[in-house]
Structure 1
Amino acid sequence: MTDTQSKRPASAFVALFAIVFGLMTVLSGGIVLFGGSAAMEAAGNVVHFVLWFNFLAGFSYVVAGYGLLQRRRWAYWLSIAIFAGTAMVLTAFVAHVMLGGTYEFRTVVAMMFRTIVWAVIAKVASGIALRG
């Protein structure tokens, strides 16, 4: 088994993870955004720019995952963009919190998790981009 072949299951796992993560993100964000006042109330102290970013980014997660499954170089650049955008929104969220804005602690955890996940996915995607 060549080195490239041994890495394919790992990159396929990461690609499928990105797709499932994206679908879950779109679903959960969509429920809060479009599920009416009861859904919004159940979500607690929503930070709207974070919610909208994550909802819209979820579609990009699915596209990036598909590109990774197909071993497309553009999926690397999309993964970098998702990571960078998520890191920027995390930074803006931290500023929101530091300025006394309301938030849910689970948003802190979720944004840190998303940033780390997309750093890892971008790293895996870099291997695909280098091998073609």
Structure 2
Amino acid sequence: MRCLGELEAAVMRVLWESSEPIKVREVLERLDTGRSLAYTTVLTVLDNLHRKGWVEREMDGRAYRYEARRTREEAAARTLHQVLAGSGSPDAVLAHFAASISDEQAEALQAALVERLRADQGL
């Protein structure tokens, strides 16, 4: 999965906030980008997101209903993986990141790492 452009990110926010798959018209009505967008623009963005693997779609009558393929959190984690992979020095990036986060974020990260170790060890 590649990183998202501004309009793609806005469309994904709409999908993440929806409790069910929605049609292009519904996405257009819920978008808050500060500018007027055409139906075809939103349709193109959703088609691109589908092609990139960010959304799933299912035919409903003559139109598709779209939903996010992954949660917002899963997508953010994938983006972090891409940043690390493209950094040239993932260990250094992680060290800088760890030094820059809040105490609460450090505790959450530590808890997640402990959980991972337990899962890896089958505990």
Q: TM-score range by the shorter chain?
A: under 0.3
Instruction: Name the TM-score, length of structure 2 as normaliser.
Output: 0.26
**CA radius of gyration, larger in:** 2
Structure ranking higher on relative contact order (CA contacts 8 Å, 6+ apart): 1
Greater fraction of residues in strand: 2
Greater fraction of residues in helix: 1
Instruction: Name the TM-score, length of structure 1 as normaliser.
Output: 0.25
